[in-house]
Amino acid sequence: MSLAELEQVQTSTEVESSGGLLREAVTRLRRSPVAIIGAALITLFVLVALLAPVLAPHSPTAADLTKVRPGSVPGPSAAHWLGLDEQGRDELSRLIYGARWSLLIGIVSTTLGVTIGVILGTLAGGLAGWVDGVIMRLMDIMLAVPGLLFAIGLAALLGPSLKSVMIAIATVNVPIFARLLRASMLSQRGSDYALAARSLGVRRSRITLAHVLPNSLAPVIVQATLALATAIIDAAGLAFLGLGSADPSVPEWGRMLAESQNALNTSPQLAILPGLAITVSVLGFTLLGEALRESLDPKLRR
Amino acid sequence: MSLVEVRGLKVHFPIRAGVIFERTVGAVRAVDGVDLDIDRGTTLGLVGESGCGKSTVGRALLRLEPATAGSVFFDGEDVFAKTGEELRRLRRRMQMVFQDPLSSLDPRQSIGSILAEPLRTHDVVAGPALDARVRELLDVVGLPTNAVSRFPHEFSGGQRQRVGIARAIALSPDLIIADEPVSALDVSIQAQVVNLLEELQQRLNLTYLVIAHDLAVVRHISETIAVMYLGVIVEVAPSDTLYDEPLHPYTIALLSAIPIPDPEVEDRRERLLLVGDLPSPANPPGGCRFHTRCPFRQPTRCHDEVPALRELRPGHQVFCHWAEEVAAGQITPTYAGSVPAAEA
């Protein structure tokens, strides 16, 4: 057994520094420039949203119709850095407050979608049999309708309000997460460690919840980050179509885009600025999501 | 009475066809009528090439794979009759060691948690006694106690297999089924793990079923060896007898493929080459299953009469019509070229 002892001494010194799997993923993430750019954009976006009352130079809703005439909207000036919109409201302040709504809708709808999706996916992947069949056919039906169209229909049905936007976007996300988790759980369920747990006499519920589920969550986490980006785009799309908040003074990026249409010839910046805000925030989540996918999946590691 | 008695075990996997209306169009006969006896405190080696069904036998014994027919008695209890809580209690006494030690350990569980799981599941110990038992297990398999808070990926293959073994002995089982316990390990580590298994057997009075394709490992560890081919057992004999006087043509061919570590003897060694691939277990050959590849095949009986597992000498069973003649040298093997291509 002297060889065994040698082997132990060797590895015990080299493993001292490393921690769990998660820590390794974080270390890999830190080295990825894509992740750093993504995280920086998200941090900027979140800070702007949180500090909106401090950062915004003016009220986002205070309209000054004396300064604007149809066809003539004042551009950038010392008092209004990004100019006014067609109703005489400070464009910069509206953009800053708009980040709040985008972030709120994105987080709430994604969290809701992930939660319900994970519950349904766990039921389908864990129980199998007819439960799996019923849940997955239901998800198939929901997936058969194009996502945004489904969201528009739901939002219209629920009436224009931020709550219905969140519910609509969350609903569209549910089948995506349910399918993803179920597929991941099915492959993990056949793994040797699940078999080992069965041979030890571990109960099926515990195998599913304590072993299979935690090992199946990586793709869901990645998808959630990417879904946040899609949620922001979808929310803008719904607001653009007039399905956002019932209060017309709420500064949503999507509605700002829609309202800018009338003044597109004279003041194109009113369309470009909210569009840019949407792009940058979405890019942040997409970059981080892709980097997460790479760091969590050892097969994609470069 | 033997600790384990397997009678007529069959495991068939249905082959389904059709998209919406599935129907069974056939079956892969992974295990097709296996009888085995394992005495308490001994080791039975089960050998055979890949795909012969040896792993399926192990899994069916533990009820990890549903059996199609047959029965398994463990210490007098009918394993296949148990359900629910009774089965869970029976599992305490029969454990498994897996081939790939990394994939058989949950990557997100610390070693301490992996070893505590069986103890918690069966409420064996709790509280401080649980920690003490986990440390004791680590000590028994020769791992440092600071391994408790580490994760499987931090260990070498040999150490991971020690964790797998520690988990298997945690519940003080009577029987351990080791499915290719060392084939995923480096040769230098294999000996250590085999020695550990032997040491534990003596210390804990364990009974082993060792499934392997490596004849040297099996010979070293087993009292009795069963050779499997295409879902059936073709020869059972005490370990040394099997190596010195193999009776079944398949065993003879297998043993003749082991290289001898002496260049002069190796040069003169006569190898009995098997031709062709393992036939499909979904459609095994009629008569003797080995007749399509057998170098000793005779024009009669082999292709149309299913042989019986006959006890030629005490403790030495053979599944061949012509075993006596082969042993006496009355039948000489034909070589690769002489087997008609259509039948090979």
At B116-146, the pLDDT tens digits run 999 999 988 888 899 999 999 999 999 999 9
Q: How many CB atoms lie within 10 A of CB B199?
A: 14
Judged by CB atoms closer than 8 Å, whether chains meet at B195 and A12 is answered as no
In a domain, B18, yes or no: no
What pLDDT is stored for residue A20 in this prediction? 57
What pLDDT is stored for residue A21 in this prediction? 64
The band of B338, judged by pLDDT with boundaries at 50, 70 and 90, is: very low
Residue A210: which residues within 8 A CB-CB, separation 6 or more? Answer: none
What pLDDT is stored for residue B170 in this prediction? 94
Assigned token pair, A85? 């919109």
In a domain, B239, yes or no: no
Pairing of strands B77-78, B69-74: antiparallel
In a domain, B176, yes or no: yes
Assigned token pair, A284? 């942040």
Distance from chain centroid for Cα B187: 19
Report which residue type is found at A220: V
- For residue B265, the number of C-alpha atoms closer than 13 Å in the C-beta half-sphere is 6
Domain boundary among B184, B211, B232: B232
Whether the CB of A9 is below 8 Å from some CB of chain B: the reply is no
Tally of structural domains, chain B: 2
Task: Select the residue of A7, A21, A202 nearest B108 (Cβ to Cβ).
Answer: A21
Nearest CA in chain A to B59: A199
What pLDDT is stored for residue A296 in this prediction? 78
The verdict on B105 and B200 lying in the same domain is: yes
Residue B340: which residues within 8 A CB-CB, separation 6 or more? Answer: none
In a domain, B237, yes or no: no
The span from the CA of B254 to the CA of A220, in Å, is 49
Lowest mean pLDDT across A54-58, A242-246, B21-25, B211-215:
B21-25
The verdict on B94 and B199 lying in the same domain is: yes
Q: Which of A55, A44, A45, A143 is nearest to A92 (CA)?
A: A55
The verdict on B159 and B55 lying in the same domain is: yes
Task: Select the residue of B62, B122, B151 nearest A199 (Cβ to Cβ).
Answer: B62
Task: Select the residue of B95, B103, B109 nearest A192 (Cβ to Cβ).
Answer: B103
The answer to whether residue B341 scores a pLDDT higher than 60 is no
What class is the A29-55+89-300 domain? Answer: mainly alpha
Q: How many CB atoms lie within 10 A of CB B275?
A: 17
Report which residue type is found at A77: S
The verdict on B283 and B224 lying in the same domain is: no
Over range B268-281, report the average pLDDT. 79
In a domain, B101, yes or no: yes
The answer to whether residue B18 scores a pLDDT higher than 80 is no
The verdict on B144 and B288 lying in the same domain is: no
The verdict on B192 and B44 lying in the same domain is: yes
Domain that holds residue B173: 38-66+79-232
Angle, CA B7 vertex, CA B4 and CA B10 arms, to 5° = 115
In a domain, B22, yes or no: no
What pLDDT is stored for residue B294 in this prediction? 87
The span from the CA of A282 to the CA of A103, in Å, is 10
Whether the CB-CB separation of B117 and A202 falls below 8 Å is answered with yes
The values of phi and psi at residue B252, to 5°, are -60, -45
CATH number, position B195: 3.40.50.300
What pLDDT is stored for residue A297 in this prediction? 67
Lowest mean pLDDT across A91-95, A224-228, B239-243, B254-258:
B254-258
Residue A279: which residues within 8 A CB-CB, separation 6 or more? Answer: none
Strand partners, B300: none
The band of B335, judged by pLDDT with boundaries at 50, 70 and 90, is: low
Q: Which helix (H) or strand (E) holds B178?
A: strand B175-179
DSSP secondary structure of B269-284: PPP-PPPSPPPPTTS-
The verdict on B101 and B199 lying in the same domain is: yes
Strand partners, B227: B47, B235
Domain boundary among B209, B232, B255: B232
Interface test with B, best of A5, A199, A204, A208 (most B CBs within 10 A): A199
The verdict on B159 and B263 lying in the same domain is: no
What Å distances lie between residue A144 and A22, A149, A172, A175, CA to CA?
35, 11, 11, 10
Strand partners, B32: B10
Assigned token pair, A10? 């060797």
Report which residue type is found at B217: V
Strand partners, B176: B95, B208
Domain boundary among B172, B206, B232: B232
In a domain, B5, yes or no: no
Q: Which of B147, B163, B40 is nearest to B98 (CA)?
A: B163
Strand partners, B4: B38, B74
The verdict on B181 and B304 lying in the same domain is: no
Residues of B with CB under 8 A from a CB of A: 62, 64, 87-89, 91-92, 94-96, 98, 100, 103-109, 117-118, 121-122, 142-144, 146, 150-151, 153-156, 158-159, 164, 167, 171, 188-189, 192, 195
In a domain, B59, yes or no: yes
The verdict on B56 and B197 lying in the same domain is: yes
Contacts of B117 in chain A (CB under 8 A): 197, 200, 202
Q: What is the pLDDT along chain A (302 residues), one digit of tens a residue?
A: 444 444 444 444 333 334 456 777 788 888 888 999 999 999 999 999 999 999 888 888 888 778 777 767 787 888 888 888 888 888 899 999 999 998 999 999 999 999 999 999 999 998 888 999 999 999 999 999 998 899 999 999 998 888 999 999 999 999 999 999 999 999 999 889 999 999 999 998 999 999 999 889 988 988 999 999 999 999 989 988 888 888 888 888 988 888 888 888 888 888 899 999 999 999 999 999 888 888 876 554 44
The verdict on B256 and B148 lying in the same domain is: no
The verdict on B330 and B266 lying in the same domain is: yes
